[in-house]
């Protein structure tokens, strides 16, 4: 029996949709940019024309199409009701990041009924609220460079999202750079001693064995890890039961370089040992 998997990337202009589409193509998806909403059901009528037992479609659909925000939710819901394996990834970023990206690339924003880029971003956010709330995954790309976003999308879509198999992202961050907007669960590890104040560890990060040992070999760190894993063992099946396919576990410390990186790495390893598909992102590890 032929299997069809559809990943739809949408979201704010300048948030990285083109990069995400290229990543999907690299991951083996047949990709189409700016597909009109009305053509999506018709495209699926011809899925038998594509070769292979598994058809993987990667699509970018957004406000470049007139009336996209009004028409897309109904089509998306209808496809799910028909039993298609369709997932929506919604990309967004902070106003500051989007304005900077438009300034650097000198691209035109698709919203025309406003003068400033800031006003256009606000209008686009407002119009896409309904679509965003329907998304399987909302990703804030403010702190991703092109290569990090590409790798994240490939990891995210390397395994089909099903209620039986959940993709979990473990994300380290620094509180001084702001909370990650796409986090589902946030844990603060600033209760652990800070390697920043140890001269021989300051210039290293939490991936270094010396830093990792300094952070994780303490009794309070070991107890925290055991208790947090026990909590996740309870929560993950409940999230699956509610149909959640993606989960982001954020681990924060002051600068996002030492403690959060070490704990996030350990958490990632523990979850993988439990046969839970897990990806790992160090959001602020390169910050000064």
* pLDDT score, position 166: 77
Q: What percent of the chain has pLDDT over 90?
A: 66
Q: Which domain holds residue 102?
A: 3-161
* pLDDT score, position 244: 79
120 located within any domain: yes
Instruction: Give the lowest-confidence range in 153-167, 171-185, 228-242.
Output: 153-167
pLDDT digit string (tens) for 40-83? Answer: 998 888 776 665 556 889 999 999 998 999 999 999 999 999 88
Please tell me the pTM assigned to this model.
Answer: 0.76
Domain count across the chain: 2
Residues 152 and 198 in one domain: no
Q: Please say whether the beta carbons of 7 and 45 come within 8 A.
A: no
Across the chain, the runs of DSSP E, i.e. the strands, are 3-11, 30-33, 54-60, 85-92, 137-140, 167-174, 185-188, 246-253, 278-282
Does the pLDDT at position 150 exceed 80? yes
Question: Which residues fall within 8 angstroms of residue 158, CB to CB, at 6 or more apart?
Answer: 27
d(CA 244, CA 247): 7
Residues 142 and 275 in one domain: no
pLDDT digit string (tens) for 4-29? Answer: 889 999 999 999 999 999 999 998 89
pLDDT digit string (tens) for 221-235? Answer: 999 999 999 999 999
239 located within any domain: yes
Q: Residue 7 is part of a domain; what is its CATH number?
A: 3.40.50.300
Closest-CA residue to 266 (of 177, 197, 192): 192
Q: Of 144, 161, 178, which marks where a domain is finished?
A: 161
Residues 142 and 176 in one domain: no
121 located within any domain: yes
Closest-CA residue to 12 (of 83, 84, 98, 82): 98
* pLDDT score, position 164: 52
Residues 153 and 127 in one domain: yes
pLDDT digit string (tens) for 95-144? Answer: 999 999 998 877 889 898 888 999 999 999 999 999 999 998 899 998 88
Name the percent of the chain in helix, strand, coil, to the closest 5: 45, 20, 35
Q: ∠281-286-288 over CA atoms, to 5°? A: 145
Does the pLDDT at position 163 exceed 50? no
What count of residues does the chain have? 288
* pLDDT score, position 284: 92
Query: Across all residues in the chain, what is the average pLDDT?
Result: 90
pLDDT digit string (tens) for 262-271? Answer: 999 999 999 9
| C-alpha dihedral sign at 176, 151, 171, 103 | positive
pLDDT digit string (tens) for 183-221? Answer: 999 999 999 999 999 999 999 999 999 999 999 999 999
């Amino acid at each position: 029996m032929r299997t069809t998997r559809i990943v739809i990337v949408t979201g704010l202009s300048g948030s990285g949709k083109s990069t995400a589409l290229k990543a999907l193509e690299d991951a083996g998806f047949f990709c189409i940019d700016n597909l009109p909403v009305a053509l999506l059901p018709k495209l699926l009528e011809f899925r038998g024309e594509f070769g292979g037992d598994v058809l993987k479609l990667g699509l970018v659909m957004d406000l470049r199409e007139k009336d996209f925000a009004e028409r897309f939710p109904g089509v998306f819901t209808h496809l799910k009701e028909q039993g298609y394996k369709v997932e929506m990834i919604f990309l967004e970023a902070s106003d500051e990041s989007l304005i900077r990206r438009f300034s650097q690339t000198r691209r035109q924003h698709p919203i025309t009924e406003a003068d400033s880029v800031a006003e256009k971003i606000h209008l686009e956010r407002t119009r896409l609220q309904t679509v965003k709330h329907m998304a399987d995954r909302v990703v804030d790309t403010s702190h991703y460079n092109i290569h990090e976003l590409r790798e994240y999308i490939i990891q995210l879509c390397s395994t089909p999202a099903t209620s039986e198999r959940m993709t979990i992202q473990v994300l380290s961050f620094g509180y001084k750079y702001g909370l990650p907007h796409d986090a589902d669960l946030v844990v603060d590890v600033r209760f652990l001693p800070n390697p920043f104040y140890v001269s021989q560890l300051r210039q290293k990060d939490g991936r270094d064995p010396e830093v990792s040992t300094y952070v994780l070999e303490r009794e309070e760190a070991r107890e925290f890890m055991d208790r947090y894993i026990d909590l996740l063992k309870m929560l993950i099946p409940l999230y699956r039961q509610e149909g959640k396919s993606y989960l982001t576990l954020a681990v924060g410390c002051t600068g996002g370089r030492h403690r959060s990186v070490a704990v996030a790495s350990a958490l990632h390893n523990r979850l993988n040992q439990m046969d839970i598909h897990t990806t790992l992102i160090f959001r602020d590890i390169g910050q000064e």
